[in-house]
Structure 1
């Protein structure tokens, strides 16, 4: 790096990347400690716009540009409109160039000093069909405050990103992740980061994304650690992926080829996709059993086998992993139905949600803390356990002796009265002063808990250890985030009956 590669003024800062020069803006951090300022570089394209002939193809690296490119505002998002599937503010931004990264750094001059900072790369959630990296909650300023360079990335969603097409590359959204991570390897040093100290993290589908990458042989050189929050693996079976693609083509009256799907507008495909993936009482059980129909698929190329099989075979065993979930991820599904569910026989509800009769008595006894709170709470806990929390225990077992830490986020929202999906995200980013917080967390969420959750994430990114004992054996220690936070042996004991069913 030369003296002209990095420039700064009172408000703006410029950095040279492999494709061209970008201009970012300085902002203040919060919390009154650590580094007082953060430079945000927003909407830097890592790939050409996936439109026209590139629409259903693997991403193509961004061609170089002349002059200085402003990186002062978030760029176009793959999400169109607001699907309304999460409580995280995730804006949709119009435009074609949807493959971008946002970089937040406390000190680009670290590259000149040869002492790059550790890097956190964030992959957003949204069920692989929604979500946006433009959320104010994903701002890396307070990770910057604590000495961590932060990157958030975008990727193609829904059918454009993950749908099976006869003559198109598979897993296009996964290929977007890989190219973005390659961009980080090539460029993050110029922003003050160390490309050999990259941790990937994400929540929900983003948590599933980083677990997918952990089990992918072709991704191992791109990161050194993984932090999976409420991870939802897809691992769509090849036959199911193809059946979905063919059914969507048939519904549209086109051939299941690039030419056929290219004849459809983006709006038409989104309309068909929404209809084909609509969730209701009748389809909920199918999703619990079979998972999401759109997401990373076992294609024999990038995903040569299901992720859990790869982890059990030792892929990614050299990389430290932190994973966990909230206590009642999907209890929100039943919000507003409490009175109606009161009259539904509990046995019928448990049957519908797939709880085997052989473990029913044991499961209800293990969850006695919520059995007296009504069917909505019982159904929500069971749905949470089947979709998220039981998978955590299976992944921990798959990893064997690999360095793995487990946590639970148990603090009950001051709005919902339980620890729902997405609640832990603003604690992770230490942004409780951000917008749209009260509908998720209620008034005055505890800053001391954010200090603990965020502090553990910083410790993991910087040192490879979040600060509590590794999870080892069936009775291993897990951190339980609450007020007060505590470390508990076999903290997921209430989930274990499901592993017998």
Structure 2
């Protein structure tokens, strides 16, 4: 059996979208690669997503669908991120508990993968929702357009196509998830890195209103793209085409993605080159400004890893650059979000993941994902976390997330964006696996903590 296939016996669901045939294995049901939009090819390549028509024949949802990623962000990535060929990249996967007529509708977690808005794959085994299904949560993973196809600003092209894809996916979930045992009125949208940034963008967007009831951002931030016209011009030169819809549309998605990554590597710049655009109907104002006035009825859980990009055996200059990226792009977004939401009716709660991977040399970017998903046995985990990652930490972290998705208030106090905000701290060495503390995101404390780590 192909590793992208779902195991088990056929399991058919009749939804508003049509009959969808997945697989049932033990107490878990999987429905993979379900298109929620028409393929973004031809005239639709640089157009707003079009809802998928109802399936007229049973749809085979036994394997992961095509991915928007054609070229991985790096030759080796921390998260296993398979690229799946095909045009139907706007698809989603559902992992749900076994059908039970006596069970009340389950809360729903919609997961948005990371990858710097340039890469990433919803088919990663680290995003397998089997532990959520075990705990009575329906888990949905979503694909969206990436790079130039999803976030370039081009004449005659709608901006923020990647975010528009995600909004349409949330509409599909609302219309269809009850057929899979989910509650369309209890949807939590969650993501990591670029996915976490997308969560904050959707929370701040007028278009996101009413599409979800809770939000979780892991290592997200305010990842709005800066002026990209110069970058797109150089990209067009590299590809031998004008930096226009017609020019880029005349080259394959793979060619464009490869050229973006090559040009980015030549610049020696790890900052974002493409991402959410501010100034349209999706993001009329910067994310932080939008958070101050929107999403106030949506509880938010967010945090970052302790080291993100400044871990391991780096030289002094590299460590300093990594520290700047860690603090400005990721960790600073936590108190800034809490401060922006100070007047919100719903609460904001912060966490910090501090367990240091012995392989990566710190609490690096992405290492918290297998703990939140409780999938320490997934492929690639040993390579990133070593042979003995603490299973109890995964149990505790996953339980906190499940409680939040179920609608319960976290066990620790709310944050307001001030100094000494309460934080749930996971896995700090020489401390309990889970501890409630303060000051983790305060600048002075942060500097002291970082200096201690480098001694």
Alignment partner of 2:147 out of 150, 158, 176: 158
1:32 corresponds to: none
Alignment partner of 1:423 out of 360, 363, 367: 367
Query: Are 2:305 and 1:326 aligned?
Result: yes
Alignment partner of 1:98 out of 68, 86, 89: 89
Alignment partner of 1:407 out of 323, 332, 351: 351
Q: What SS does the aligned partner of 1:331 have?
A: coil
Q: For residues 400 and 441 of structure 1, do their structure 2 counterparts lie closer, same or farther at Cα, with a shift above 3 Å needed?
A: same
Q: Give the C-alpha shift of residue 88 in structure 1.
A: 0.7
> Residues 411-456 of structure 1: CA distance to partner in whole angstroms, max 9, x if unpaired?
1113233100101000000001111112211111111100111000
Q: Give the C-alpha shift of residue 251 in structure 1.
A: 4.2
- Residues 39-188 of structure 1: matches in 2 within 5 Å? 39-84=29-74, 86-109=77-100, 115-188=104-177
> Would you tell me which structure has more helix in proportion to its own residues?
1
Mark the structure with the bigger radius of gyration: 1
Q: Distance in 1 between matches of 2:162 and 2:322?
A: 30
Q: Give the C-alpha shift of residue 109 in structure 1.
A: 4.7
Query: Are 2:247 and 1:260 aligned?
Result: yes
Q: Distance in 2 between matches of 1:104 and 1:484?
A: 29
Q: What SS does the aligned partner of 2:340 have?
A: helix
Query: Are 2:333 and 1:391 aligned?
Result: yes
1:219 corresponds to: 208
Answer yes or no: is the 8 Å Cα contact 1:38–1:107 preserved in 2.
yes
Query: Are 2:3 and 1:13 aligned?
Result: no
Backbone CA RMSD of aligned residues: 2.1
Query: Are 2:220 and 1:275 aligned?
Result: no
Runs of 4+ in structure 1 off by over 6 angstroms are none
Consecutive unaligned residues of structure 2, counting only runs of 5 or more, are 1-7, 448-455
Query: Are 2:195 and 1:206 aligned?
Result: yes
Q: What SS does the aligned partner of 1:115 have?
A: coil
Q: TM-score with structure 2 length normalisation? A: 0.90
Query: Are 2:419 and 1:470 aligned?
Result: no
> Residues 350-401 of structure 1: CA distance to partner in whole angstroms, max 9, x if unpaired?
xxxxxxxxxxxxxxxxxxxxxxxxxx65554343112211222211111114
> Residues 324-343 of structure 1: CA distance to partner in whole angstroms, max 9, x if unpaired?
000000025xx56x4xx3xx
Q: What SS does the aligned partner of 1:221 have?
A: coil
Query: Are 2:294 and 1:315 aligned?
Result: yes
- Residues 350-361 of structure 1: matches in 2 within 5 Å? none
Alignment partner of 2:391 out of 432, 441, 447: 447
> Residues 202-241 of structure 1: CA distance to partner in whole angstroms, max 9, x if unpaired?
000000010110000111111001010000332224xx14
1:488 corresponds to: 437
Answer yes or no: is the 8 Å Cα contact 1:198–1:224 preserved in 2.
yes
1:196 corresponds to: 185
Q: What SS does the aligned partner of 1:294 have?
A: coil
Q: For residues 416 and 257 of structure 1, do their structure 2 counterparts lie closer, same or farther at Cα, with a shift above 3 Å needed?
A: closer
Q: TM-score with structure 1 length normalisation? A: 0.82
Q: Give the C-alpha shift of residue 497 in structure 1.
A: 7.6
- Residues 228-243 of structure 1: matches in 2 within 5 Å? 228-237=217-226, 240-243=227-230
Q: Distance in 1 between matches of 2:19 and 2:174?
A: 17
